[in-house]
Amino acid sequence: MTRRAIDGGKVRKSAFAIAVAVLAVLVFILVLNPFRTVDAGEACAVVRFGEVVGTAGPGLHVVPPVVTKLYCFTTRAAVYETSNEPGQSLADYTDFPVTAQTSDGQPIEVTFSVRWRVLPEDVGNIYALVGENNQAVNERVVKFHSRNVVRLDMQNNSASKLYSGEIFDVEQDIADLLIPLFADKYVVMDKFAIRKVSFQDAYIDAIERQQIAQENIETAEYEAQAATYTAQKTVELAKGDANAEIERAKGYAQAEIERARGDAAAAEERGKALRQYPEILQLELIQQLENAKWLTLPQDIVPFMDLTPTE
């Protein structure tokens, strides 16, 4: 066998080996696919042989197949919502209302919403403590704690408080309880909101009757107050008229008193003057005689008395 033949055989063997290697790489890439893309808004726990060894953020990552796996979580805010028609909701996770009782024993149904999220740096702990994805987080943390806390907290509130719509304090109480429970499992609660508290028809009818009765009482009280005001006004007006009459009578009486005092004073002064000057009477008599109109009798009338002056 010539050297050329030997060299040709070696070349063919080398080319075959390269082809096999390339084919193996292609098979590895196509079948096992070690490349993984993490989308924006996601974070993944890197698990090797069952142990969390790190996290992977958005971008392209080489993940050795078989030995290493990525468990990815959405880091965007998600909403868990309870409603009477879960199929009509646009929330990420839906459920039916929570049944509960108030502190005074009234059965109610509560619908609410919880907005929550996970932080990229916490996905390793979440995988280790909760589950492999957001669905598990919602089921084992958000749903479990929120439904339980809502049911228990409703027992601390009266039906009248919840029926009247004073639920802002109730919302805050529930949120304050949920925040640490979520945080214990590395879940962030952004917002808790009560959507509606529904009562049984019998309770609603009783409340409406009570409100109507209360309105009637308030109307009667208003009318009574109006009547009292009118009566008081009439009394005050009558008092005013009476006081005016009294004052007028006092004025008339005082005027009469003053006139009497004036007449008495004049008489007293006249008496003093007459006692001191008796000639005043003679003067007044003369003045009266001068002003008198004398009656002249006809000549043919005989007087009863002889009016001829004597010498």
Average pLDDT over residues 72-93: 95
**pLDDT tens digits, residue range 234-244?**
777 778 777 77
Residue 29 has pLDDT above 60, yes or no: no
**pLDDT tens digits, residue range 265-292?**
777 776 776 677 666 666 666 666 666 5
Nearest to 137 by CA among 224, 227, 74: 74
Confidence of residue 128 (pLDDT cuts 50, 70, 90): very high
Residue 43 has pLDDT above 50, yes or no: yes
> Which residue reads 């280790």 in tokens?
128
Residue predicted with more confidence, 17 or 78: 78
Confidence (pLDDT) at 235: 74
Residue 4 has pLDDT above 90, yes or no: no
4-13, 94-103, 159-168, 280-289: which has the minimum mean pLDDT?
Answer: 4-13
Confidence (pLDDT) at 31: 46
Can you tell me the distance from the alpha carbon of 217 to that of 210, in angstroms, rounded to the nearest whole number? 10
Residue 14 has pLDDT above 60, yes or no: yes
Confidence of residue 251 (pLDDT cuts 50, 70, 90): confident
Percentage of the chain with pLDDT > 70?
Answer: 72
User: Could you give phi then psi for residue 294, rounded to 5 degrees?
Assistant: -85, 140
Tokens of 176: 């304050």
Nearest to 187 by CA among 62, 306, 75: 75
User: Could you give phi then psi for residue 251, rounded to 5 degrees?
Assistant: -65, -45
pTM of this structure? 0.60
Please name the residues in contact with 133: beta carbons below 8 A apart, sequence gap of 6 or more.
Answer: 71, 72, 73
Confidence (pLDDT) at 287: 67
Residue predicted with more confidence, 273 or 203: 203
End-to-end CA distance of the chain: 225
Confidence of residue 30 (pLDDT cuts 50, 70, 90): very low
- How many other C-beta atoms are found inside a 10 Å radius of the C-beta of residue 48? 13
Percentage of the chain with pLDDT > 90?
Answer: 45
The alpha carbon of residue 91 and the mean position of all alpha carbons in its chain are separated, in whole angstroms, by: 27
Confidence (pLDDT) at 153: 96
Residue 297 has pLDDT above 60, yes or no: no
Confidence of residue 65 (pLDDT cuts 50, 70, 90): confident
Residue 134 contacts residue 112 (beta carbons within 8 Å): no
Burial of 90-129, coded b for 16+ CB within 10 Å and e otherwise, reads ebbbbbebbebebeeebebbbbbbbbbbbebebbbbbbee
40-49, 156-165, 293-302: which has the minimum mean pLDDT?
Answer: 293-302
Average pLDDT over residues 226-230: 74
Mean of pLDDT over the chain: 82
60-64, 117-121, 223-227: which has the minimum mean pLDDT?
Answer: 223-227
**Three-class SS of residue 54?**
strand
Give the CA angle between residues 272, 274, 278 to the nearest 5°.
Answer: 145
Average pLDDT over residues 259-263: 76
Confidence (pLDDT) at 132: 95
Can you tell me the distance from the alpha carbon of 110 to that of 213, in angstroms, rounded to the nearest whole number? 28
